Structure 1
Amino acid sequence: MRPTILVTGPGRGALAPRWLVAAALYRYGARPIQVRPGDILETIGHHGVVITGGHDIDPVLYAAEPEIQPRHDPERDALEAAIIDHALQQRLPLLGICRGAQLLNARCGGNLLQELRSHRRMTSNRWTVLPLKTLLVSEGSRLQQLLETSQGRINSLHNQAIDRVGEGLQVSGRDLDNIIQAVEAKDHPFLLGVQWHPEFLLLQRRQRRLFQALVHRARQQQMSN
């Protein structure tokens, strides 16, 4: 039996990244289930979660006032907040991608930088799916074990980033401007948030390992039930 992994997304659009995430999970032996606002989660038994990227999260979720013109999705915020809270309570393996990493951090009590342009000195603020940004990986982190490197190349498709790190999380990656690019939890079976989009970098074996490791932990979760 394949372990079931939820793949979250908006009510409309974002077909390519969600399909790529699902394809990576399926390749490594999981049964991906796409969930959107309005779906009834109580009927879905699952063993892991991927929170995908998308619009900025509402700053009310981390007790802040909007600093920029908002592009929020309240229904999606509510769905994914509930899924993250459940995963934390049940210690389910979870991978947060871009917005997913930011929302994970907010659910753990952290906050965000609402705009990044003023924080950049050595890196570009442009969006690109190409791996043009440098990732500096923290020594001894789970991320370093997965990527098997202390420095790599990643893409960049985000307006915001993690500022104050939430309770139980620690930084495992930054860019050349010291902006947080990854967080993780050491005392959790698999809890990882990455600011980049590994689903667009599946030709890189290192990036595929993020999905492979998630499926491995989800299978262990399945066997323990």
Structure 2
Amino acid sequence: MPDRPLIAVTTSARSGWRIFPLVALNLWLAGGRGVRWGTGRPADLDAVDGLIIGGGDDISPDLYDMQIVTSARLDPARDALERDLVEAAIARNKPVLGICRGAQMINVALGGSLHQDAYGTYTASDRHWTVLPKKQVQVCHDTRLAGIAGTAPMRVNALHSQAVDRLGRDLRVAAHDRGGMVQAVERTSDPFALGVQWHPEHLFYARRQRAIFAALVAAARACRTDTVQLRAVDALADEQGL
């Protein structure tokens, strides 16, 4: 449908074939439509209304001037592509949603850094490795994510070994777990950018998770008409009443 905002979705070369359909389903339910991007595929930001940086491999510490201190599965070509895409999207006022690795990439692309061994740093955090919603996170009050998904404790999945350390430019913490590990970051000014450490695409049956994709689509519609994206997202949040 031509009136649905078109959202580019970056994926891993290894797992994108099974993850992209889930993300595309969530976008469709939210009123958008998705197109898969990745290394070796066309990637023209002028042709889309928004961007999702998907999950997958760890991000190389070379991107934030650190040395590898733990074993990690890396994809340097994907790192370079996604960092460039995030930087270009922000420069062109295109909204961005980061999922797991994508949240970390938003932070790194904006000048932040990562904990390579997240659970070695946050020893009080509950360690889970599952697509099932077994990890509890707390959304921070007075954040945009709170307006989108509410502030009640949220059960999410967890499939990550890295986590946000030093925040990137214009970002703030939007959620954390009980051990203090950052679980979401968001931009404080246009364009809309939100990164969540979990995988909401697997939780499409949960209203609060669908609301995350709905916020991106609302921001993408605003981008089309060159109106304020954060205002559009706030208006959607008010309608949802979470």
Comparing 203-212 with 31-40, greater Cα deviation is found at 31-40
User: Cα deviation per residue 1:93-117 (whole Å; 9 max; x = unaligned)?
Assistant: 1100110011110111111010123
After TM superposition, list the pairs within 5 Å mapping 1:31-180 onto structure 2: 31-42=33-44, 45-180=47-182
User: Cα deviation per residue 1:31-65 (whole Å; 9 max; x = unaligned)?
Assistant: 21101101232386011001000010110001101
Comparing 23-32 with 80-89, greater Cα deviation is found at 23-32
Amino acid at match of 1:10: S
Structure 1 consecutive aligned stretches of length 4 or more whose deviation exceeds 4 Å = none
SS of the residue corresponding to residue 192 of structure 1 reads strand
User: Cα deviation per residue 1:84-143 (whole Å; 9 max; x = unaligned)?
Assistant: 111110121110011001111011111101012323444332301111111111111001
8 Å contact from structure 2 (residues 128, 134) kept in 1: no
8 Å contact from structure 1 (residues 128, 157) kept in 2: yes
Amino acid at match of 1:95: L
Q: How many residues align?
A: 225
Distance 2:10 2:59 in 1: 14
SS of the residue corresponding to residue 178 of structure 1 reads coil
Kindly state the Cα deviation for residue 18 of structure 1 after the two structures are TM-superposed.
1.8
Distance 2:91 2:114 in 1: 23
1:222 corresponding residue in structure 2 = 224
Classify 1:198/1:43 alpha carbon distance in 2 versus 1 (closer, same or farther; 3 Å): closer
User: Cα deviation per residue 1:5-30 (whole Å; 9 max; x = unaligned)?
Assistant: 00001223233322111111122221
183, 186, 195: which one aligns with 1:184: 186
Identity %: 41
8 Å contact from structure 1 (residues 169, 184) kept in 2: yes
SS of the residue corresponding to residue 208 of structure 1 reads helix
SS of the residue corresponding to residue 224 of structure 1 reads coil
Comparing 124-133 with 60-69, greater Cα deviation is found at 124-133
> Which structure has more RCO (C-alpha within 8 Å, separation ≥ 6)?
1
Is the counterpart of residue 10 in structure 1 residue 25 in structure 2?
A: no
Kindly state the Cα deviation for residue 222 of structure 1 after the two structures are TM-superposed.
1.6
5+ unaligned residues in a row in structure 2: which ranges?
Answer: 228-242
Amino acid at match of 2:98: G
8 Å contact from structure 1 (residues 62, 109) kept in 2: yes
Distance 1:114 1:63 in 2: 12
TM-score normalized with structure 2 length: 0.88
8 Å contact from structure 1 (residues 57, 99) kept in 2: yes
5+ unaligned residues in a row in structure 1: which ranges?
Answer: none
Distance 1:45 1:56 in 2: 28
Distance 2:128 2:189 in 1: 35
8 Å contact from structure 1 (residues 116, 125) kept in 2: no
User: Cα deviation per residue 1:176-217 (whole Å; 9 max; x = unaligned)?
Assistant: 110000000111241100101111111100000000111111
